[in-house]
A and B are shown apart, each in its own frame.
Chain A
Amino acid sequence: MGRDADYNAITTLILDNRDSIYRLAYSYVHNQADAQDIVQESICKALSSRRSLRQPAHAKAWFYRIVVNTAFDFIRKNKKYLYLEADQLESESCASDPYPDLDLQDTVNKLSTVNRTIIVLRFYEDLELREIADIMDENLSTVKTRLYSSLKKLRLELDETAKTQSD
């Protein structure tokens, strides 16, 4: 290939993380075709705007950010997916249910796209909060606040508070 250093670094990153990238995309749309569209679009965006990657050390966060933004765009453009805002959640009750874990999953899915992304990146993708802040283009404190409020909704606050504070 021999294009340039950025190109080689990014393509290596993409190839190494392709399954994670796909899963992340899938977590937004829950179908293979759309997930692949998002991945493809993200690769295109990343490679054609690779000059905007200033610190190669942050390449992974940079690329995940592209995937997340592409997924957000995709959801906005495709009305078949619900884009729930945080306040819409308040009306959703999930207190006493005989199937708590189904309930939990349901609640995760009903989180706003931004809040769900933080949960996915933090726990599913096991990224650091600082990386997540980079990806979401938010302050670290904002990400923390969002994460705590999501966890509260998921009724996971007690043990999770302990874990996030170690960051």
Chain B
Amino acid sequence: MERLQPLINEYKNIEIPEEVEFMVRKTINEFESCRNRERKLIKFTAAVAAAVLLFVGAVNLSPVTASAMSKIPVLKELVRIVTIKELAYQSDNRDVNIKVPQIEGLPDSQLEKSLNEKYLQRNTALYEEFLARTGEDELSPMNLALFTDYKVKTHTADILVVEEVKTEIAASGAESVRYDNIDLKNQIIITLPSLFKDDSYIDVISDNIKAQMQAKTNKSEGIMFFIAGDGTVGGGFDKIAPEQTFYITADSQLVIVFDEYAVAPGSMGIVEFTIPTAVIQGSLVSNTYIK
């Protein structure tokens, strides 16, 4: 048996982790919970599954999640937007004024923080880029200006839409606009694709917008749009972008927005189309936001 002795020694020398004693005592003291061990495991799995469902539900904006979330107290009164910073510079022929908004009072401070960081970052970049691009040049004293401003476009118990308008003036002006559609209850940013089951919304909405453009053009002489296949120079409007600018109104309507010059002559400014809910009902994930 001498040959077996090294193996026996090795076995006797198996290191006993310090936590074994603790684990043994704990298991002994709490052994009543042993019986539930397997059940606990299942419960735990179920909880994970539920959490995943909840997450998917939140992403898909299901009404079930929304109603479960609605137990959270109304946030309308708590959330507000303030100007945290104004970036301004003025000379004889340069004028820039950038207002950096900041959201306050969102319960999800992570969302609030990331939004506010985005606002600060983007507006600071705009300011610096404007100054760099329009460095004072005595030989070409062109009047240039850049203004940004923001306002609350929609604010209900459920939804907050922050509108940011950027106006660039180089002899004539160009306005562009951005929206952050914030779901206050679920604490998420609503994107256009997230409202719909699949990509079909792009065609459905685009066709509706084209029809609206035609109708408006026929109705009034002063109105015209650039529509693709209409003989318009440069293509004209064919389809909305998957992440087309949009906002949700207080009465749960979807509004698609185009920057100045994007689909119409500059004289028409920023152009909005309210999409009738009946048109997109088949593509909507739910009627949580759009009714």
Contact = CB atoms under 8 A, between A and B. Distances in A.
How many A residues touch the partner, as a band?
20 to 34
28 contacts: A1-B29, A11-B28, A14-B24, A15-B25, A18-B24, A19-B16, A23-B12, A23-B16, A26-B14, A27-B14, A32-B15, A36-B19, A36-B20, A39-B24, A39-B27, A40-B23, A43-B31, A43-B34, A44-B27, A47-B28, A47-B31, A48-B31, A104-B4, A105-B7, A120-B11, A123-B4, A124-B11, A159-B1
Interface of B: 1-4, 6-8, 10-12, 14-17, 19-21, 23-25, 27-29, 31, 34-35, 37
A36 B23 CA distance: 8
Contacts of A100: 3
Given A14-B24, A44-B31, A47-B31, A123 B8 contact: yes
Contacts, number: 80
Interface SS of B by simple majority: helix
Contact of A124 (B3, B12, B29): B12
Interface string A137-161: 0000000000000000010100110
A120 B14 CA distance: 13
Contacts of B14: 22-23, 26-27
Centre residue among A18, A154, A159 by max chain B CB count within 10 A: A18
A32 B17 contact: yes
A44 B32 CA distance: 8
Contacts of B28: 11, 14-15, 43, 47
Contacts of A90: none
Nearest to B9: A124
